[in-house]
């Protein structure tokens, strides 16, 4: 085939350059280990699989010939991607056969951040290094020094990192995303509306607006670059949505494809979203554009607020005279028919006529102690919290045109099935939780829960095949365990299991008590982890297991972490290729599988089901899921670890890298071998027509076995929507988020009561300026407000080493408006120098970073957008590896320091203040020309069977 021809050609041309390959890895086309050929000579086999260049996991058909993957095309059976593939997915072969793949475990020779020299070791030696480091730490200091990190860009199975820490019994987990990506949006929304239909644009959520059969008449794309995040799915569905006549509103500082096709583009200053959202909420309440019946019947807005509670908790029935003898503590409301303060109850067809609550205003209430107080309804409290937020005031703060803002809110307010979708930009500011709260409020005010629009819930068909279940009890925390689903401490039959993470370790999780939203994913707060590493307080993290791409590009203020690495006893890095983090931090490298080498279930895709399956297995690569089991077995066998012994030998939660066959057999379709499973992979359970027809709406009106409506946050597909002390659940949503106040004081951890945070979380939204902008000195010295975004060619920090992608987007762009550019003498194509306050604080980046200017009217004047970037070319032999992340990397400019979001602990990745000047020279050594990427062209090799075989 021509690919191999091309590669031979490329390779012969490259023969003289073999020594120019990276210091890490071994260039060459020979396999490390011969395997028995399991294919017919020259036959082309088409294998259905799924892409994992990003979480959207589009259906793919891989052509395999003589054991090598030679072509990728889309699977037309996937009704989301419909046979489309984007530039990221189409780069799968260049990623798989990249000459700089990490091919086997290697340990560092020399010093972190100085030497980039590595020595090949066996898998057994590598596993022993990790186990020994963990055991030494355990013996000298205790278990809580373990730090496990991962990231959604580089790791498809981020939950495994949490499980590893939990089975070990203590320690910390973080992702540069998480509290900065997805978690705030999903956490806050589910505390409030309780339903699984998320509004997150970038995560294959927000599906309600895709359904061609749904009468969605207005969609607000608020701060999520849908077309760039997901060219194959979101971009296409939104094109079709607009073609169907839906009014499309795009709110984004930069002018994108979606802005250009929107009916209204509302550009606002990065980080000020909550100001505009509160003005929209105010507008809708003031102009009575809300769905009154929905608010009365299904929301908690009629419930009364306790005026004696400093944090604004709702009044409990046992605090009210006459209701204090009622069985079961509940919320209370004022009934307009009976004229009485009444305990709220769950409605059913037989009792709903007796529920006539007052929505707005104040009520006199006699408390159990005989005193009388005036209580606002929650609706009234919400209304007052936004009362000062006019469109004019918000527009002034957001640097936008008030007429456009008004036009936008009017279109949304007047729609019948209008919905608001949100994106990662909201999670990358210190107002992450409030952005999510406001988005939820806007949807709820319009009654948009389980309705046609963003929040619709995907139908689930009975599977054509039943797939097997892999070992392990992997759970997130608050969403599931709190309700007793998937309780990690009992087995399927309810029998208690062995040692697992326990209470003291949970409270010790860094930053968790202060920012309890982190409990959603059992994470720690990144700045709290940093502070602990640097100060040793409250304890010293010591052993770091990192499994993703390039932390230097994804952590805020990343150059400050170089000092932190020095404080760690041991750091290992598992990834497909070396990154800046490897050079700066790692003592050990482990080779992970590319998506064309993996086997796992990425979840259903529309109604196309199946596995990502290994189409090749190169070098000594292994699925990282099996590495964890191998470490536990080593800890049990050689280091006398009771947790590990229990995990591996008693509960049998893991596989080792020698047990891949067992893993495959366990996950395979029941009654089939893995080979048979692969043959039917990518199957459909319904037709496209059936899939869209099967959407159901208003599930909360279904009557359950007890004769009552499902309501909000009751059971089935939903989450808890009442505070932990409420015994009589009225099944209402939490538009006034009493629940989040309660979580701040008590937590909601499956392992028990937590100490309170130092300040109450707010049940209603509030606005604060972005952190840099709050500082007058900072915004004077660095006057431009900078955000970043998403391109269709890269996912987070990935793929910057793919030759065809780099030749088309070789260096990061920074967008700057014509006036700001003219003031600085900057023209399109100029190299510019960019600095933030962090350049004063961090010696390594004192000279700032570089990008190429695009002078465009497509950005809010006074604001910039810069793409995240790093330069793997500096990891080539003879180069200064540090420059791979210091020359063109936006995130060295972003802000780790507080203030933080109270609920989530989010720090500042976007909406930082910067200064831009015309650079007097191009940054030396950055590859910009096509031919420079030649050393990275693929070098196909035969499959070896991976590192699974001894």
Note the residues at the interface with other proteins (CB under 8 A).
2-3, 5-6, 10, 71-74, 81-87, 90-91, 93, 227-228, 231-232, 235-236, 239, 255, 257, 259-261, 265, 267, 400-401, 404, 792-793, 803-805, 807-811, 813, 817, 828, 852, 854, 856-861, 928-931, 933-934, 937
- The span from the CA of 596 to the CA of 60, in Å, is 10
Structure tokens at 43: 């036959």
Give the nearer residue to other proteins in terms of CB position, either 107 or 257. 257
CB of 6 vs other proteins, minimal distance in Å: 4
CB of 855 vs other proteins, minimal distance in Å: 10
Give the nearer residue to other proteins in terms of CB position, either 43 or 537. 43
CB of 851 vs other proteins, minimal distance in Å: 11
Give the nearer residue to other proteins in terms of CB position, either 401 or 727. 401
Count Cα atoms within 13 angstroms, Cβ side, for 684. 14
CB of 132 vs other proteins, minimal distance in Å: 44
- The span from the CA of 698 to the CA of 156, in Å, is 33
DSSP state string for 522-576: T---HHHHHHHHHH--S----EEEEESS-HHHHSTTGGGHHHHHHT-SEEEEEES
Give the nearer residue to other proteins in terms of CB position, either 98 or 165. 98
Dihedrals phi, psi of 752, to nearest 5 degrees: 130, 180
In sequence order, what E strands does 110-261 have? Answer: 117-120, 146-150, 172-174, 218-222, 247-251
Give the nearer residue to other proteins in terms of CB position, either 261 or 393. 261
Quick check: helix, strand or coil at residue 341?
A: strand
CB of 834 vs other proteins, minimal distance in Å: 17
Sign of CA dihedral 174, 180, 186, 190: positive
Other C-beta atoms lying within 10 Å of the C-beta of residue 905: 30
**Would you say 947 and 35 are in contact if contact means Cβ atoms under 8 Å apart?**
no
Give the nearer residue to other proteins in terms of CB position, either 571 or 834. 834
CB of 889 vs other proteins, minimal distance in Å: 17
Give the nearer residue to other proteins in terms of CB position, either 544 or 933. 933
Structure tokens at 803: 């030759």
CB of 741 vs other proteins, minimal distance in Å: 39
Give the nearer residue to other proteins in terms of CB position, either 653 or 817. 817
**Would you say 786 and 866 are in contact if contact means Cβ atoms under 8 Å apart?**
yes
Dihedrals phi, psi of 23, to nearest 5 degrees: -65, -30
- The span from the CA of 580 to the CA of 872, in Å, is 8
- The span from the CA of 148 to the CA of 33, in Å, is 32
Cα-based angle 464, 52, 69 (whole degrees, multiple of 5): 90
CB of 621 vs other proteins, minimal distance in Å: 23
Give the nearer residue to other proteins in terms of CB position, either 44 or 503. 44
Quick check: helix, strand or coil at residue 896?
A: coil
Give the nearer residue to other proteins in terms of CB position, either 325 or 931. 931
Which residues partner with 420 through β-bridges? Answer: 220
**Would you say 947 and 622 are in contact if contact means Cβ atoms under 8 Å apart?**
yes
DSSP state string for 134-168: HHHHHHHT-GGGEEEEE-TTT-S-THHHHHHHHHH
CB of 829 vs other proteins, minimal distance in Å: 9
CB of 581 vs other proteins, minimal distance in Å: 26
CB of 791 vs other proteins, minimal distance in Å: 9
State the residue for tokens 């229990």: 646
- The span from the CA of 91 to the CA of 645, in Å, is 41
CB of 887 vs other proteins, minimal distance in Å: 17
Give the nearer residue to other proteins in terms of CB position, either 823 or 840. 823
Give the nearer residue to other proteins in terms of CB position, either 218 or 853. 853
Dihedrals phi, psi of 239, to nearest 5 degrees: -55, -45
- The span from the CA of 480 to the CA of 190, in Å, is 11
Least Cα distance to 622 among 164, 950, 149 occurs for 950
Least Cα distance to 516 among 705, 760, 161, 330 occurs for 760
Structure tokens at 330: 């509940």
Count Cα atoms within 13 angstroms, Cβ side, for 29. 14
Give the nearer residue to other proteins in terms of CB position, either 384 or 403. 403
Give the nearer residue to other proteins in terms of CB position, either 85 or 506. 85
Give the nearer residue to other proteins in terms of CB position, either 29 or 759. 29
CB of 222 vs other proteins, minimal distance in Å: 17
**Would you say 877 and 579 are in contact if contact means Cβ atoms under 8 Å apart?**
no
CB of 261 vs other proteins, minimal distance in Å: 6
Radius of gyration of the chain (CA): 28
CB of 60 vs other proteins, minimal distance in Å: 10
b/e string for 440-450 if b means 16 or more Cβ within 10 A? bbbbbbbbbbb
Cα-based angle 571, 572, 575 (whole degrees, multiple of 5): 140
Structure tokens at 282: 């105010």
Give the nearer residue to other proteins in terms of CB position, either 58 or 183. 58
CB of 76 vs other proteins, minimal distance in Å: 8
CB of 787 vs other proteins, minimal distance in Å: 16
Give the nearer residue to other proteins in terms of CB position, either 88 or 625. 88
Q: Could you report how far apart the first and last alpha carbons of the chain are, in Å?
A: 32
């Amino acid at each position: 085939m021509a690919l191999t021809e091309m590669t031979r050609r490329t390779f012969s041309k490259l023969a003289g350059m073999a020594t120019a390959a990276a210091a890490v890895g071994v260039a060459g086309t020979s396999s490390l280990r011969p395997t028995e050929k399991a294919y017919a000579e020259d036959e082309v086999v088409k294998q259905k699989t799924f892409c994992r260049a990003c979480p959207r996991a589009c259906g793919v058909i891989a052509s395999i010939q003589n054991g090598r993957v030679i072509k990728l095309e889309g699977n037309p059976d996937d009704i989301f991607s419909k046979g489309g593939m984007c530039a990221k997915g189409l780069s799968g072969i260049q990623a798989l056969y990249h000459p700089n793949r990490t091919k086997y475990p290697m340990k560092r020779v020399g010093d972190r951040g100085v030497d980039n020299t590595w020595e090949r070791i066996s898998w057994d030696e590598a596993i022993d290094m990790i186990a020994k480091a963990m055991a030494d730490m355990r013996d000298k200091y205790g278990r809580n020094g373990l730090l496990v990190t991962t990231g959604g860009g580089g790791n498809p199975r981020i939950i495994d990192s949490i499980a590893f820490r939990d089975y070990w019994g203590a320690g910390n987990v973080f992702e540069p995303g998480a509290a900065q990506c997805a978690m705030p949006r999903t956490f806050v929304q589910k505390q409030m509306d309780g339903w699984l239909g998320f509004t997150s644009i970038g995560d294959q959520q927000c599906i309600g607006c895709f359904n061609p059969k749904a009468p969605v008449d207005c969609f607000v794309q608020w701060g999520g670059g849908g077309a760039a995040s997901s060219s194959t799915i979101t971009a296409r569905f939104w094109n079709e949505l607009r073609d169907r006549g839906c009014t499309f509103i795009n709110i984004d500082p930069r002018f994108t494809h979606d802005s250009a096709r929107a009916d209204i583009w509302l550009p606002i200053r990065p980080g000020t979203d909550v100001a505009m959202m509160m003005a929209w909420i105010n507008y809708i309440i003031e102009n009575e554009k809300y769905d009154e019946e929905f608010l009365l019947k299904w929301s908690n807005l009629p419930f009364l607020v306790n005026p004696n509670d400093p944090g604004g908790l709702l009044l409990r029935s046992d605090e009210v005279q006459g209701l204090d003898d009622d069985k079961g503590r509940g919320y209370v409301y004022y009934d307009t028919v009976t004229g009485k303060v009444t305990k709220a109850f769950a409605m059913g067809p037989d009792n709903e006529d007796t529920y006539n609550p007052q929505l707005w205003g104040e009520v006199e209430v006699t408390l159990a102690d005989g005193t009388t107080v005036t209580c606002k309804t929650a609706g009234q409290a919400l209304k007052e919290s936004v009362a000062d937020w006019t469109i004019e005031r918000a527009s002034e703060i957001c640097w936008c045109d008030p007429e456009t803002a008004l036009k936008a809110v009017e279109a949304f307010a007047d729609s019948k099935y209008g919905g608001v979708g949100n994106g990662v930009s909201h999670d990358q500011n210190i107002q992450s939780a409030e952005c999510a709260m406001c988005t939820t409020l806007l949807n709820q005010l319009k009654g948009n829960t389980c309705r046609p629009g963003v929040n619709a819930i995907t139908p689930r068909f009975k599977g054509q095949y039943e797939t097997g279940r892999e070992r392990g009890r992997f759970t997130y925390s608050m969403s599931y365990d709190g309700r007793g689903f998937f309780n990690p401490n009992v087995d399927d039959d309810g029998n208690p299991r062995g040692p697992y993470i326990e209470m003291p370790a949970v409270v010790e999780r860094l930053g968790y008590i202060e920012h309890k939203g982190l409990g959603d994913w059992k994470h720690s707060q990144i700045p709290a982890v940093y502070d602990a590493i640097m100060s040793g307080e409250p304890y010293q993290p010591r052993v770091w297991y990192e499994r993703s791409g390039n932390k230097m590009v994804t952590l805020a203020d990343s150059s400050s972490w170089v000092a932190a690495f020095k404080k760690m006893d041991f750091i290992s890095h598992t990834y497909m290729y070396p990154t800046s983090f490897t050079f700066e931090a790692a003592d050990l490298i482990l080779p992970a599988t590319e998506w064309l080498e993996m086997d796992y279930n990425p979840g259903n895709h529309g109604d196309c089901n199946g596995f990502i399956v290994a189409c090749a297995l190169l070098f000594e690569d292994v699925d990282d899921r099996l590495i964890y089991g191998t470490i536990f077995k080593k800890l049990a066998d050689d280091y006398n670890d009771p947790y590990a012994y229990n995990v591996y030998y008693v509960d049998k939660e893991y596989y080792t890298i020698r047990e891949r066959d067992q893993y495959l057999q366990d996950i395979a379709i029941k009654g089939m071998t893995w080979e048979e499973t692969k043959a039917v992979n990518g199957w459909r359970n319904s037709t496209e027509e059936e899939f869209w027809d099967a959407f159901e709406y208003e599930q909360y009106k279904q009557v359950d076995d007890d004769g009552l409506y499902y309501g909000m946050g009751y059971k089935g597909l939903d989450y808890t929507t009442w505070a932990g002390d409420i015994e009589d659940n009225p099944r209402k949503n939490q538009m006034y988020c009493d629940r989040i106040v309660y979580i701040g004081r008590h937590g909601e951890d499956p392992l028990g009561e937590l100490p309170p945070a130092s300040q109450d979380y707010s049940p209603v939204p509030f606005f604060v300026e972005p952190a840099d902008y709050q500082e007058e000195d900072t915004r004077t010295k660095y006057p431009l407000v900078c955000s970043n975004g998403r391109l269709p060619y890269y996912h987070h920090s990935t793929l910057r080493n793919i030759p065809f992608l780099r030749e088309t987007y070789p260096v990061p762009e920074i967008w700057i408006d014509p006036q700001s550019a003219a003031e600085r003498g900057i023209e399109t194509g100029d190299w510019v120098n960019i600095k933030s306050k962090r350049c004063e604080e961090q010696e390594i980046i004192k000279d700032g970073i570089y990008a190429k200017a695009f002078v465009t009217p497509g950005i809010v004047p006074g604001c910039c957008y810069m793409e995240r970037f790093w330069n793997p070319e500096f990891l080539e032999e003879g180069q200064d590896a540090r420059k791979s992340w210091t020359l063109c990397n936006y995130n060295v400019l972003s802000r780790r320091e507080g203030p933080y979001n109270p609920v989530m602990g989010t720090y500042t990745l976007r909406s930082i203040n910067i200064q831009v000047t015309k650079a007097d020279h191009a940054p030396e050594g950055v590859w910009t020309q096509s031919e420079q990427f030649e050393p990275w062209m693929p070098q196909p090799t035969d499959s070896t069977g991976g590192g699974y075989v001894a």
